[in-house]
Amino acid sequence: MLFILLGVCTLGDALGGTWAARSYESLSVQTPVTTNTLSIQMPQLQMNLTDKPAESLVPGAVLTASTHVFNDGDYEEYVRVKIEKAWIDGNGISAAGADSDYITLHTDHASDWIIHDTSQGSEASYYYYTKPIAKEAVTSNIIDSVEIGNIPSSEQNLYNKLHVQLNLTAESVQRIAGREAIRYEWNVPCTMDENGQLLAVGDATTE
Amino acid sequence: MIRKFTAFGLGLGMLLSLCTTAFAETLPTVTFDGNAEKFISNVDIEHFGDAFEGIAPGETRTQDFTIKNSDDQSKDIYFSAKALEDLLDGGSAYYFISFLRDGQPFYRGTLGGPNGALTDLGAPDTPLGSPVLLATLENGESCEMSMIFTLDGASTGNEYQAKDGLFQFTFSASDAITPAPTGTPTPSRTTYTRPGTITTAKGVKTFDSAPLLPLCGLLLLSLIGFAVVNWDLIFHRKKHR
C-alpha cells in the first residue's frame, strides 16, 4: 500500500511540474496594413462627332476619333470600356428607328481588345483590354476611326440631320486575383494565360 | 574642384544605395534574452516589417521573421495576433493567416472580422485569440518563420481603397514543458510539424492549466481505485488461504 501511494504522489508531482511552467514578459509589435487606390482616366475623344456638320456624315464617310485609358492608380489593372453607339437628333434625343449598326468602329490594335456584346438587345459592347495595365501606363487606342455605313438611299431620309453619338465608359479591376475580380465585379467569366493576359471573355471562356 | 565634387557625389550615392539595401534586407528578429528575461526586437516594434503595405483584396503577402532563444534553458515561444485597427471604421475585413516554420506549414487561421481576433481554423473550438506555439527552441537556437496573409476579397469592396489598418503581434515565452537532455539533438521542432499538410499546433492553450487538473484528479482516483481493488484482492486471497 505504501508503495502504491508513493507512486501516486510522484505522478502528481510530475504533472504538477508541467502546469507550473514559468512564463515571461511578452513583447507586442505592430505592423501597418494599408491599401492603395484603383483609378483610371480616359481622355475625351479627340474628335467630337456630335459637333461635326451633319453634311460630313455621308454614307461611307470615315472619321478619325481616338482615345485610350490611362492607369493613374497604384495597382496594376484590367480595363474594359463600354461603348454605346447611337444616332441622335439636334436636341440630343435618340432617333427612333435609326440603326446603330450603320456606325462602325475601327481600331488599329484589334488584337489588344476582346469585344464582348452584351447580347441583351442593347447597342452597347464591352471592349476588354487583353493586357493588364501597369501603373502610369496606357492602353492602345480603343478606337482609331468611325465609319458611317452605306445607308441605302431608301433609308437616307431617316438619317438626314442626325448626329452620331458615342458614349464610352471605362472600368477597371485590380490585376491581383484578377480572374475573381472580373467575375465578381463584371459578372463575366474569363480565360487568362499564365502571364495574366486575357484570352477570352464571356461564353467563349474555358474556365 | 568639379572633379572632387563629382567624386563626392558618386561616393555619397553609392553609400546611400548601400544603406538602402542594408535597411531593406533587415529581417525582423525577435530574440528571447535570458538575462533580461524578456524579448528584444532588432526593428522598431511599431513597424515590424512592411510586407502588408499596399495589399489588395485577394492578395497574399508574406512577412518573414526570425525567432531566437538566447536563454540557457529551452523555451516554448508563442505568438498571438490581433487586428488592432481595421482598414475601415466599422468594417470587418478578414485575413487568412498561415505560418511556415523553416518552410513547413503548421498553422492556418483567420484574423480580423468584427472582433479582430485570431481564429484557429484547424481547431474551431479553440478560444478566439489563443496563442499559437511557434517553436520550442534550445539555447542559441533560432528558426525562420513565414507569416502569410491573404486579404479576403469577398469582405473588402471599393470602400477599402487607400485605407490604413494595424496588426498587433505578441510574442511570449515559457519554460519548455519537456526540456530536452543537454547535449542531445532536440526533436522539438518536428513535434508539431507534418510536412505537406497544414496542421494545428496541439497544446496551443498550454498557458491554461485548467484542463490538466481534472485529468490529474481522474488519474489519482483511478490509481487509488486500482490500489483499493488490488488491496481487496490481495487481502481476500490471504484471507481465503
CA-wise closest residue to A62 among A150, A135, A1, A138:
A150
Tracing cell 512577412 back to the chain, one arrives at B63
- Mean pLDDT score, A94-108: 90
Residue B27, strand partner residues: none
Q: How far is B17 from chain A (nearest CA, A)?
A: 24
Residue B186's pLDDT band, with cuts at 50, 70 and 90, is very low
Residue A84, strand partner residues: A124, A167
**Alpha-helix residue ranges (DSSP H) falling in A22-131:** none
What is the C-alpha radius of gyration for chain B, rounded to an integer number of angstroms? Answer: 25
- Lowest mean pLDDT segment, chosen from A73-82, A146-155, B226-235: B226-235
Q: Do B124 and B200 form a contact (C-beta atoms < 8 A)?
A: no
Category of B116 on φ-ψ map: left (φ > 0), alpha (ψ -120 to 50) or beta = left
Q: How far is B197 from chain A (nearest CA, A)?
A: 24
Q: pLDDT tens digit string along A13-44? A: 444 334 456 778 899 999 999 999 999 999 87
Which residues in chain B are contacts of A26 at CB distance < 8 A? 39, 170-173
Q: pLDDT tens digit string along A131-185? A: 999 999 999 999 998 888 989 989 888 988 888 888 899 999 999 999 989 998 8
CA distances from A86 to A124, B75, B97 (A): 9, 74, 51
Q: pLDDT tens digit string along B84-120? A: 888 887 777 888 999 898 888 888 888 888 777 888 8
Query: Can you give the pLDDT at residue B24?
Result: 45
- pLDDT higher than 80, residue B78: yes
Q: How far is A35 from chain B (nearest CA, A)?
A: 4
Domain residue spans of chain A: 40-176
The whole-angstrom separation of Cα B222 and Cα A7 is 13
Report CB contact under 8 Å: A27, B40: yes
Q: pLDDT tens digit string along B190-217? A: 222 222 222 222 222 222 222 333 333 3
By Cβ distance, the residue of A24, A33, A35 closest to B166 is A33
Q: Kindly tell me the burial class for residue A162, based on how many C-beta atoms sit within 10 Å of its own C-beta (0-12, 13-18, 19 or more).
A: middle
Q: Does the beta carbon of A180 lie under 8 angstroms from any beta carbon of chain B? A: yes
| Phi and psi angles of residue B21, each rounded to the nearest 5 degrees, phi first | -65, -45
The whole-angstrom separation of Cα B9 and Cα A73 is 34
Residue A27, strand partner residues: B171
Q: What is the ipTM of this complex?
A: 0.71
DSSP states along B26-76: ---EEEEETTTTEEEESS-TTS---TTTT--TT-EEEEEEEEEE-SSS-EE
E-assigned strands of chain A? 27-34, 40-41, 62-67, 70-71, 77-88, 103-106, 113-117, 124-129, 143-148, 163-174, 190-192, 198-201
Q: Do A106 and A146 form a contact (C-beta atoms < 8 A)?
A: yes
Q: What is A40-176's CATH number?
A: 2.60.40
Element (H, E) at B164: strand B164-175
The whole-angstrom separation of Cα A100 and Cα B165 is 49
The whole-angstrom separation of Cα B134 and Cα B145 is 8
Q: 3-state class of B230 per DSSP?
A: helix
By Cβ distance, the residue of B28, B160, B206 closest to A35 is B160
- Mean pLDDT score, B23-42: 86
- pLDDT higher than 80, residue B37: yes
Query: Can you give the pLDDT at residue B33?
Result: 94
The cell for B16 is: 546611400
Average pLDDT, chain B: 69
The cell for B136 is: 520550442
Provide the percentage of residues in chain B whose pLDDT is more than 90: 31
Q: At what angle do helices A2-19 and B212-240 cross, to 10 degrees?
A: 170
Q: pLDDT tens digit string along B129-179? A: 788 899 999 999 999 999 999 998 887 888 888 999 998 999 999 998 765
The whole-angstrom separation of Cα B108 and Cα B105 is 8
Query: Can you give the pLDDT at residue B157?
Result: 80
Q: Does the beta carbon of A36 lie under 8 angstroms from any beta carbon of chain B? A: yes
